[in-house]
Amino acid sequence: MTEPASANPDQTLTPEHLMHHLQHVYNILRHDAAGSLPDYIPELSQANPAHFALSVTLKSGQTLQVGDCEARFTLQSLSKPFGYALALQTCGQDAVEGVVNTEPSGDGFNSIRLDEGKFRPDNPMVNAGALAISSLLLERHGAHALQQLQNLFQQILGRDLPTDARVFTSENRTAHRNRAIVHLMHNLGMVQQDPEQILRLYLQQCALQVQVQDLSRLAATLALGGKIPGQTLQALPKGVVRQVLSVMFSCGMYNSAGEWACKVGLPAKSGVSGGLMAASPGKLGIAVYSPLLNAYGHSHRGVLACQMLARRLKLHLF
């Protein structure tokens, strides 16, 4: 709240001003070493805790970036909005509504609490909801489900994303909680496909690897209603993206979504690898990479950087 608002809102979104603000925020936070590396996925605890990178992609397709932009990290939960989008696009709204609600859960991302009355997980941003989406994608696309998701990334980024096999293996070996969630959901009739196949697809999408500039381009595509930045091509239908952004706004930051809505005011999603993306509708996509996490499982510096950028660039939606 102490960060001063930018004096001239009309000039804040030019590349020069954006670069100035990115650099400024980077300088303020570069020595902030608060937070901790996740250890429930052993490979993620090997990340370099000093890594810090910021990126913004504009409508024009231009990307501005600062910091350790060469660092690679896995999408983890940052993959969830895209899995959800693919399900909405290829399975239809009714089928998606049949397997997952759109209510903030107020619980952590890996909560095992299931609403046995509604027989649907609360939302597609928590693990249980993303597993329900994976089940639907398997039902619709079978063995091609992961490639369907890759096709979406291919359209936006111009290439399939590589898999970080070490992260996949590490998480697969230790995914006791997700395994329990998906088996419980299967037991309750909340997912129809084989639980191990569902978990595999989910962990595969989580292990796709990006750099911060990829993430801001993905965020910008959502910000532009599915239009690829700098192109006329629509990667996703506008109505699908509206639904995805609405759910990101209310549920993307899990049990800190309310505080995020007040302090940043943009649809966003985090990943336990330390990536964080926010979409400023009609304007730009923001991404941060910094692997030290806060108590909610969000990048500590990522949250602070987005708060500062939203304020300096006057991006809060309200």
Structure tokens at 14: 């030019």
Closest separation between CB of residue 2 and ligand DON, Å?
27
Q: What are phi and psi of 206, to 5 degrees?
A: -65, -30
Assess whether 111 carries a catalytic annotation. no
- What is the rounded distance in angstroms from the CA atom of residue 226 to the CA atom of residue 156? 9
Q: Is 101 known to sit in a ligand binding site?
A: no
8 Å CB contact between 139 and 194: no
Q: Would you call 272 a catalytic residue per the annotation?
A: yes
Among 35, 195, 229, 271, binds ligand DON (CB under 6 A): 271
Q: How many residues bind ligand DON (CB under 6 A)?
A: 13
Exactly one of 135, 191, 247, 254 is catalytic; which is it? Answer: 254
Pick the catalytic residue from 56, 66, 272, 303: 272
Catalytic residue among 25, 79, 126, 202: 202
CA angle 251, 25, 53 (to 5 degrees): 70
195 contributes a contact to ligand DON by CB under 6 A: no
3-state secondary structure of 73: strand
Q: Is 83 in the site for ligand DON (CB under 6 A)?
A: no
Binding map of ligand DON across residues 281-300, x = CB under 6 A, - = no contact: ----------------xx--
Active site residue 289: no
Beta strands in the chain (DSSP E): 53-58, 63-67, 73-74, 209-210, 268-270, 275-280, 284-289
* CA 254 – CA 317 distance, rounded (Å): 19
170 binds ligand DON (CB under 6 A): no
The answer to whether residue 80 is catalytic is yes
Q: 210 labelled as ligand-binding?
A: no
CA atoms within 13 A on the CB side of 47: 29
Query: Which x/- pattern, by CB under 6 A, does the window 99-138 give for ligand DON?
Result: ----------xx----------------x-----------
Is residue 259 a known part of a binding site?
A: no
Question: Active-site residue numbers?
Answer: 77, 80, 202, 254, 272
